[in-house]
Structure 1
Amino acid sequence: MFKKVILALVFIAAGVLIGKYFLGNSQTTVMPSPNNLYRTVSSGDDAKSLNRAFSGKIHEVKNGDLIMDAVRSAAPGDLIRVYPGTYKETVYIDKDDISFQGIIIEGEWPVLDGEKELNDAFLYSGNGIQIESFKIINYKGNGIMGQAGNNFVLRNNWIIDAGVYGIFPQFGKNGLIEHNVLSGIEDAAIYVGMCDNIDVLNNEVFGNVAGIEIENSRHCLVENNLAYDNTGGILAFITPGLPIKTTFDVIIRNNFITKNNHENFGAPGSIVSGIPPGTGILVMAADDVIIENNIISGNDNAGIIITDFANGGAEASNDPDSDPNPDRIIILDNFMIDNGNNPVGELKALMMTQFSTTGPDILAIGGGEGSTIRDVERYRTWGLGDFGTPEISTTQEIKSLLLDSPAQPREISKEDLGEMTYYGICSGCHAFDIRLIGVPTNVIQMIYKDNPQGIVDYINHPKNLREDYPEMPPQDYLSQEAKMAVAEYILALKK
């Protein structure tokens, strides 16, 4: 126990240092040599598939210039350096192997400011995109959004009040998200959606609805992050009705997850709006999730919640291809203290049946099988009656879940264009028959029956016709061929 307390203090100190580095070191000057850029994207040799030497041209963007002008003239392998200043634009990247580096001089950052008029700061569909050292504020939709781009690095960014999602790679493979600070996001600060082989490392997330969210994604490592003052700290779950039906092989390890008691300010009706304040870790319907060596403290509802669709608020979907139960969850050694002081909602009622006003460290409710816990007597638990003893004691030998070599770029044929556009762009906000951010796809089908051109027109010039949904951003940057292909795909889509 004494060793665990010492580890806790070390981790707290590390978290304070992270915060000071990003938010308080106003004298930092970052001017790396161009010859050394991007040779290593992570400490150690665990990200070999993302390591690459800088080999192209440097484009310099100064205050008063447009970053998009540099993007238009850039070629694969080029670096775009952005100097301190305020840039009021959306940066679209549909080329491969373009790197963006913000230059921080004496505490002054390059700032992308959406002024609550623009939807996205960075929107990339290219492969091999690297974005680092930007301050992103006041966007309506997303700070950084990826649309089916593989082999990405998103690092050292400061994203505040950037709308629905802070960092949102969708339908991407082989990516690194590290050393970012995010706050004030009304859904998920870091949202890994329908992705594979992603490492989420050393980030600081606070003051959001969800801190870090692994949704319908596989082979993800969430490690050494600091998650505090969110509604929910770290989530791994399945949203039914999406094209990718599973979440599995997720390691949540060595994180500091404390006092995630923020009121829930998510969009009414969305899945995250149902997250109860005071949730440290939430696992819903995901399989093969390992929770190890985290410091989980001061979360007023519960430290860890493991649940199925019915008890997790996703019962509205009839998706037959999404298994509603969490299976084979493994809880190893974690330091848990001072959780459950003020349970809310159904958990509060459940604890009252046990003549208790205190919530558990670990709650399992609903279906699922094959789950295990190491040294269960260390924790206050409820619902773990059929949990066995795990066959493993640690995952520390697993250094990364990135690929050993780069993922192949997606080659999209004309026949696949509609499906891939839907996967990479639309499905992040539109599930088939359950509410996410946007109107469900089956409702779109009813509105635009036999009218794909109507969907194309709306994609180009959306109008906010429903008070209960946020305004959809225009997607007019897509080619006419892609817009018609995705419209026809949406109208033909079945479960």
Structure 2
Amino acid sequence: MKACLLALLVTAAPLAARTITIAPGPDAQGRLQSALIEAQPGDTVQIGAGRFDLTDGLSLDVDKVTVRGAGPDKSVLNFNGQKGAGEGLLVTSKDVVLRDFAVEDTKGDGIKSKGADRIVYHNVRVEWTGGPKETNGAYGVYPVSSTDVLIDRVTVRGASDAGIYVGQSRNIVVRDSTAEFNVAGIEIENSYNADVHGNTARKNAGGILVFDLPNLPQMGGHAIRVFGNRAVDNDTPNFAPKGNIVASVPTGTGVMVMANADVHVFGNTLENNGNTNVMLIGYKRPFTDTHYNPLLRTVVVRDNRHGRAGFAPSFAGGKELAAAMGGTLPPVFWDGTGTGVVVRDAVPALNLNLPSPDAPVAQAKPTPATFPAGALPAEPKPVVLPPSMEAAIK
């Protein structure tokens, strides 16, 4: 009896971390999903080089697992034959690293993670290979409701909503990534504390978006830094399904900030965006959420490098407004609502002087924008992620 009791009190030694390698070929779907189910914390599921033709989505709900391929052009998860409309890969566990593989042609989102704290996306490609289409999946990489998110060297093409999207999350870094031919290239929505830097957003309808929306579990987006990015040549016609919030993003917008607080946009290269390089607006749609603030609060735009902009305005009334101003709109566009908006770029800025965000452009009283002089509001502190997340990609 004593021996049995002693045995129960002894903690079993943890299993050694394993690498489970899955090669392409027959029944790749079953073998890959089984590996994700049977993985233990600390394991690596290694996706072999080659093309995996899959007919259903994959899921992972085990903590501390790495899913790793041979490279985003070598290990390709192809969902062209997907029967359902779900994600390509859904992650609902913590301390997960996704790296070095590609996801193509999902019916729904490419890779979604929910409640996945300390999630790392590194050197991943998500693409709809047929080009921009309304029937493409909504999001490329899609972490939501998470704390500590790192998106590093990711490429997304063809998403019908946002290529790189982080929603209702905290402590976020999106860096050194490329988003092109999406409706929105990079979108930070209803999130707190985010650094978006070193990215290229090109050939989207809108390049980089910072939004806050009503009727969501987490609202009051704030403390966002958008710096050192290239938002250029965003001229893909908006192909979002009707009714989606991003369907209202004007084609040709470089950076758009809507209904957020404490957002600093600085040191970016912004050019060849036909609508405008920077668009600062309140939320325009009707809402009933009494806790929601539709206005901008403390938004700083400074030290950006501007090229050509405003030559093809695409918002309602924009062409008429541009014609009245000599044919083009200035590179910075503000609807005139909100508080604490400051622009310190060496280019003209337009103030529409709208009485409210939802007022039509016909009520605008456009004037050159002027902003208060003096010290700028304090910049949000840099986002610091747990060291383990950086170590995972070295």
Tell me by how many angstroms 1:244 deviates.
1.0
Amino acid across the alignment from 2:266: E
Q: TM-score, normalised by structure 2?
A: 0.82
1:139-150 correspondence runs (5 A): 139-150=106-117
Counterpart in 1 of 2:52?
86
In 2, Cα distance between equivalents of 1:348 and 1:329: 26
Counterpart in 1 of 2:301?
331
Counterpart in 1 of 2:328?
358
In 2, Cα distance between equivalents of 1:301 and 1:215: 22
Contact (CA 8 Å) 2:74, 2:101: kept in 1 or not? no
Which structure carries more helix by proportion? 1
The equivalent position to 2:209 in structure 1, one of 220, 226, 235, is: 235
Contact (CA 8 Å) 1:112, 1:134: kept in 2 or not? no
Other structure's SS at 1:329 match: strand
In 2, Cα distance between equivalents of 1:219 and 1:188: 19
In 1, Cα distance between equivalents of 2:310 and 2:44: 48
Supply the RMSD in Å over aligned alpha carbons.
2.2
Counterpart in 2 of 1:156?
123
Tell me by how many angstroms 1:110 deviates.
3.2
Contact (CA 8 Å) 2:60, 2:93: kept in 1 or not? yes
Other structure's SS at 1:100 match: strand
Amino acid across the alignment from 2:325: F
Other structure's SS at 1:266 match: coil
1:25-424 correspondence runs (5 A): 56-64=17-25, 65=28, 66-84=31-49, 85-88=51-54, 89-104=56-71, 108-118=74-84, 119-161=86-128, 163-310=137-284, 315-344=285-314, 345-352=316-323, 354-374=324-344, 376=345, 378-383=346-351, 385=369, 387-389=371-373, 391-392=375-376, 400-404=382-386
Tell me by how many angstroms 1:253 deviates.
0.4
Tell me by how many angstroms 1:366 deviates.
4.0
In 2, Cα distance between equivalents of 1:185 and 1:343: 23
Gap change, CA 1:217 and 1:67, over 3 Å in 2: same
Contact (CA 8 Å) 1:292, 1:394: kept in 2 or not? no
Other structure's SS at 1:221 match: strand
C-alpha distance after superposition, 1:293-323 (max 9, x if no partner): 100000000000000012xxxx221211111
Seq. identity, %: 26
Q: TM-score, normalised by structure 1?
A: 0.66
C-alpha distance after superposition, 1:345-380 (max 9, x if no partner): 33223334x432201110110421112222x4x112
In 1, Cα distance between equivalents of 2:318 and 2:82: 37
Gap change, CA 1:389 and 1:57, over 3 Å in 2: farther
Which structure carries more strand by proportion? 2
Gap change, CA 1:110 and 1:365, over 3 Å in 2: same
In 1, Cα distance between equivalents of 2:303 and 2:102: 36
Gap change, CA 1:73 and 1:355, over 3 Å in 2: closer
Contact (CA 8 Å) 1:373, 1:390: kept in 2 or not? no
C-alpha distance after superposition, 1:238-266 (max 9, x if no partner): 11111111111110000011011110100
Counterpart in 2 of 1:17?
none
Tell me by how many angstroms 1:405 deviates.
6.9
Other structure's SS at 1:142 match: coil
Other structure's SS at 2:298 match: coil
Other structure's SS at 1:363 match: strand
Amino acid across the alignment from 1:402: V
Other structure's SS at 1:186 match: coil
Amino acid across the alignment from 2:116: G
Gap change, CA 1:369 and 1:393, over 3 Å in 2: closer
In 1, Cα distance between equivalents of 2:155 and 2:48: 20
In 2, Cα distance between equivalents of 1:241 and 1:206: 29
Please say which of residues 248-257 and 315-324 is displaced more in the overlay.
315-324
Tell me by how many angstroms 1:170 deviates.
0.8
In 1, Cα distance between equivalents of 2:347 and 2:141: 33
Amino acid across the alignment from 2:320: A
Q: Please list every run of 5 or more consecutive structure 1 residues that lacks an aligned counterpart in the other structure.
A: 1-54, 408-495
C-alpha distance after superposition, 1:387-421 (max 9, x if no partner): 324635996x96x41345789xxxxxxxxxxxxxx
Gap change, CA 1:121 and 1:95, over 3 Å in 2: same
Q: Which runs of 4+ in 1 moved over 3 A?
A: 392-395, 402-407
Amino acid across the alignment from 1:278: G
Tell me by how many angstroms 1:112 deviates.
3.5
In 2, Cα distance between equivalents of 1:159 and 1:390: 44
In 2, Cα distance between equivalents of 1:115 and 1:402: 40
Tell me by how many angstroms 1:72 deviates.
1.7
Q: Please list every run of 5 or more consecutive structure 2 residues that lacks an aligned counterpart in the other structure.
A: 1-15, 129-135, 352-367, 390-394
Contact (CA 8 Å) 1:332, 1:394: kept in 2 or not? no
C-alpha distance after superposition, 1:142-174 (max 9, x if no partner): 111011110000111111116110000010110
